[in-house]
Amino acid sequence: MVNRVISKELRKGSADLLILALLEDRARHGYEIARLIDERSQGALSYHVASLYPTLYRLEDQGVVEGRWVEKAGQRRRRYYKLTAAGRRVLAKERSIWQSFFVALDRVATLQQG
């Protein structure tokens, strides 16, 4: 029962939080986010990578992240996502709830708190 609740949260809510957390200190592009999730969870959260862009777009629509094409010298134009102020507030608010499934997201969460 508890497992089911947690897995539902994992599927829906925490994917968002994961991404918000990864964007907390700097803007990143989609591949970078995917790589970080994959690396830090060692493939455990591959579902999130599979829904990465749909999630990002939804978050963008909700106004918590903002995507922007950025051109850096010598590189291709890339779309970087950054946390909006609203996103920061959501992240701060949700951190307390987050603690309840901290274990499941151990590696990623540790990375973010460190």
Partner 1 sequence: MDWKTEVRQIVADRPVIRDLSAADLADIVEEWTQHAHAAWSAARADGLTEADATAHVRSQIDAWSMNLADAPRRRKKVLAVEPPPAATRGASGLWQDARYGWRLLRKQPGFTLVAVLTTALAIGATTTLFSVADGVLARPLPFPDADRLIRVSETREGATRQLPSLITHVTYQTWRDRPTSIEGIAGFRGHTATMDGDAGSGAERVLGSQVTASLFSVLRSRAEIGSAFTEADEAPGRAGVIVLSHGFWQARFGADPGIVGRSIDMDGASYQIVGVMPAGFGFPSAETRFWMPLNVPPATPPEDGSSRIALFSAIARLRPGFTVTQAAEEATTRAATGPPPAMVDTAVFGSQGPRVVTGVPLIDFVTGEVRPAILMFLAAVGLLFLTAVANISSLQLARSTTRRRELAIRSALGAGTGRLARQLLIESGLLGLAGGAAGLALAVLLHRALPTLLPADFPRVSDVAINLRAIAFAGGISLMAGLLFGILPVVHLRRLRLVDALAEDSQAPVGVSLRTSIGRLRMGMMVGQVAAASLLLVGALLLGRSFSALWNADRGYEPTNLLTVRVAMPEQTFTPATRAEAMRQLLGRTRALPGVVAVGFSTIIPISNVDSLMGFNLPPRGDSPDPINAQAAVRTVSPGFFPALGVMMADGRPYSEADTASAPAVLVVNETFARTYMPGEGIGTRLPLAAGERTESEVVGIIRDVQPATRGEAPRPEVYFATDQQPGLRFSEPVLLVRTTDDPLGLVPVVRQLAQQIDTRIAIDAPMTMEARLATGLARPRLYAMLLTGLSVLALVIAGVGVFGVLSYNVAQRRREIGVRAALGARPGQIVRLTVGQGLLMAAAGLAIGLSAAFWLVRYLDGLLWGVTARDPLSYALVPIVLLGATILACWVPARRAARIDPLTAMRHH
Residues forming contacts to partner 1 in the complex (CB under 8 A) are 29-31, 34-35, 49-55, 57-58, 60-63, 66, 69, 76-79, 84-86, 89
Q: Compute the least distance from the CB of residue 42 to partner 1, in Å.
A: 13
Of 21 and 52, which has the nearer Cβ to partner 1? Answer: 52
User: Per the structure block, which two tokens stand in for 5?
Assistant: 């609740």
Of 90 and 109, which has the nearer Cβ to partner 1? Answer: 90
Of 72 and 76, which has the nearer Cβ to partner 1? Answer: 76
Q: Compute the least distance from the CB of residue 109 to partner 1, in Å.
A: 24
Phi, psi of 42 (to 5 degrees): 50, 50
* Residue 81 parent element (H or E): strand 78-83
